């Protein structure tokens, strides 16, 4: 427990931030950790390599739905309680994966890890907001929010080298088992250094279900899963799945308009266009960034003949630069300047992709990834500050989770774009077609950002 005097003097000490940062690292690292283990897993349990791709999909789908759900649960039950539940789920998922002997058990493990790691970001945002209120802070704690985003975004690339080392030294089960010690350390740090939630009052299961808006959560989950499955199946277009998704979205919105404590507060999104725009623009930025990550990586390997490890090194500037930009921009609590910079650098980088061909200097790729790394850093820092200032404090958990969900939709849509363009062959023509698609997306992003008047001022709740 932390005394009120200490909170006033040092509201964001290393003890408070350490468990939040540790928990936030788990989702991005687990997203990429599995990549180096897919082939050994296929051999180990006797399935095709193509089937093991479901392990990647399972975590993405679980995380996209679980992020806002965990935020809503944190608003009802308390952020510390939900964070602890998430850490326990991560440990359980790691243990299940470590002893698994078939694909279904491994999928269950990845879903548990996805659900558990998704609790970190929305609960951290609520805890930071609560601590800032206790300390009497009017402005967002930029350095702390920046550290949270570095932990949650810029660490994704750590999973590839870490996974390679773990699989090489201990076998594929190690990529699951490694979650146990990390979860245990995070759990101990949370119990020791995060102040316990206050008492929550509710009357029976029906009251809890109403406060959580279980029907709204289930409707959102069904609609989102249908949309994501449609995107995952591209370039084969199953239009009936998209039609089901649209119908489910309509039903969910109609329900939420009547709900007393809505999970997806449609009226709030309509009343605060700054919040809605933050989600849409952030999703577009992530779409652009991941098209580079997926498309350029395939081109480097297939056309230029570089190995996976070498192409990973070429993309390393993207991660390093984004982390540096997040650190520099977050502390200044700016919104409009960073998000305009994100759109403009994305547009410049997209135009630069047109320069790529089989004879271009390979350093050009590093320069382009530098630009996209800067764009990611500007976007993450700017839109997180916008979210923090425009979302109602009591709904910040759900709002934070939705921001991450839009990021997932962008990343999945980007893999669909590269899958369609490179469906038959990875080529210079294909990468140029991707460049034109990216120019269109980033141009639209730039126009929308410049025209967005809600970015000029902040809403203080």
For residue 235, whether the previous peptide bond is cis, meaning omega lies within 30 degrees of 0, is yes
Query: What's the burial of 193, exposed, middle or buried (CB within 10 Å: 0-12/13-18/19+)?
Result: middle
Residue 424 is given by DSSP the state S
How far apart, in whole angstroms, are the C-alpha atoms of residue 295 and residue 335? 29
How far apart, in whole angstroms, are the C-alpha atoms of residue 224 and residue 221? 5
CB-CB contact of 395 with 122 (8 Å)? no
- Give CA angle at 409 (457, 337), nearest 5°: 25
* pLDDT for residue 346: 93
What DSSP line would sit under 248-304, residue for residue? HHHHHHHHHHH-SS-SS-HHHHHH-HHHHHHHHHHHHHHHHHHHIIIIIHHHHHHTS
* pLDDT for residue 369: 85
- Give CA angle at 359 (353, 363), nearest 5°: 60
Q: H/E/C letters for each residue in 388-436? A: HHHCCHHHHHHHHHHHHHHHHHHHHHHHHHHHHHCCCCCCHHHHHHHHH
* pLDDT for residue 308: 65
Q: Give me the average pLDDT of each 10-residue run along the chain (461 residues).
A: 56 92 89 81 87 84 90 93 97 96 94 95 94 84 88 70 82 94 96 90 76 90 89 83 95 91 86 87 87 79 77 74 89 88 94 90 87 90 89 89 88 81 84 92 92 64 44
- Count CB neighbours of 386 within 10 A: 29
* pLDDT for residue 347: 94
């Amino acid at each position: 427990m932390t005394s009120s005097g200490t909170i006033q003097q040092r509201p964001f000490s290393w003890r408070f931030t350490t468990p939040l940062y540790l928990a936030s690292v788990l989702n991005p690292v687990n997203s990429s950790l599995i990549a180096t283990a897919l082939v050994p897993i296929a051999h180990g349990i006797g399935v095709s390599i193509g089937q093991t791709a479901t392990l990647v999909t399972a975590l993405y789908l679980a995380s996209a739905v679980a992020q806002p759900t965990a935020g809503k649960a944190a608003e009802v039950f308390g952020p510390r309680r939900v964070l602890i539940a998430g850490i326990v789920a991560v440990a359980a998922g790691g243990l299940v994966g470590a002893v698994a002997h078939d694909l279904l058990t491994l999928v269950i493990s990845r879903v548990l890890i996805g659900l558990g790691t998704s609790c970190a970001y929305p609960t951290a945002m609520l805890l930071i907001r609560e601590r800032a209120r206790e300390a009497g802070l009017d402005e967002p704690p930029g350095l702390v929010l920046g550290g949270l985003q570095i932990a949650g975004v810029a660490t994704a690339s750590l999973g590839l080298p870490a996974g390679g080392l773990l699989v090489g030294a201990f076998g594929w089960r190690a990529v699951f088992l490694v979650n146990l010690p990390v979860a245990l350390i995070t759990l101990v740090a949370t119990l020791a250094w995060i102040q316990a939630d206050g008492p929550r009052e509710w009357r029976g299961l029906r009251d809890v279900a109403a406060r959580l808006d279980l029907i709204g959560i289930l409707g959102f989950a069904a609609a989102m899963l249908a949309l994501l499955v449609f995107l995952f199946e591209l370039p084969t277009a199953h239009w009936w799945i998209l039609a089901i998704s649209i119908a489910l979205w309509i039903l969910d919105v109609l329900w939420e308009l009547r709900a007393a404590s809505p999970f997806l507060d449609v009226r709030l999104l309509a009343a605060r266009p700054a919040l809605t725009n933050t989600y849409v623009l952030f999703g577009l930025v992530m779409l652009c960034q991941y098209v580079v990550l997926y498309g350029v990586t395939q081109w480097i390997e297939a056309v230029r003949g570089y190995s996976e490890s070498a192409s990973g090194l070429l993309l390393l500037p993207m991660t390093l630069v984004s982390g540096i930009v997040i650190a520099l921009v977050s502390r200044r609590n700016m919104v409009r300047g960073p998000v305009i910079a994100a759109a403009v650098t994305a547009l410049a980088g997209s135009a630069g992709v047109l320069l790529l061909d089989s004879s271009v200097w390979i350093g050009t790729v590093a320069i382009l990834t530098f630009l996209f790394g800067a764009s990611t850093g500007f976007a993450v820092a700017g839109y997180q500050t916008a979210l923090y200032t425009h979302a109602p404090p009591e709904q910040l958990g759900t709002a934070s989770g939705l921001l991450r969900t839009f990021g997932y939709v962008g990343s999945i849509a980007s893999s669909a774009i590269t899958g369609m363009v490179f469906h038959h062959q990875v080529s210079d023509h294909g990468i140029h077609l991707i460049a034109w698609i990216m120019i269109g997306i980033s141009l639209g992003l730039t126009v929308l950002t410049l025209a967005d008047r809600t970015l000029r001022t902040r809403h203080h709740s």
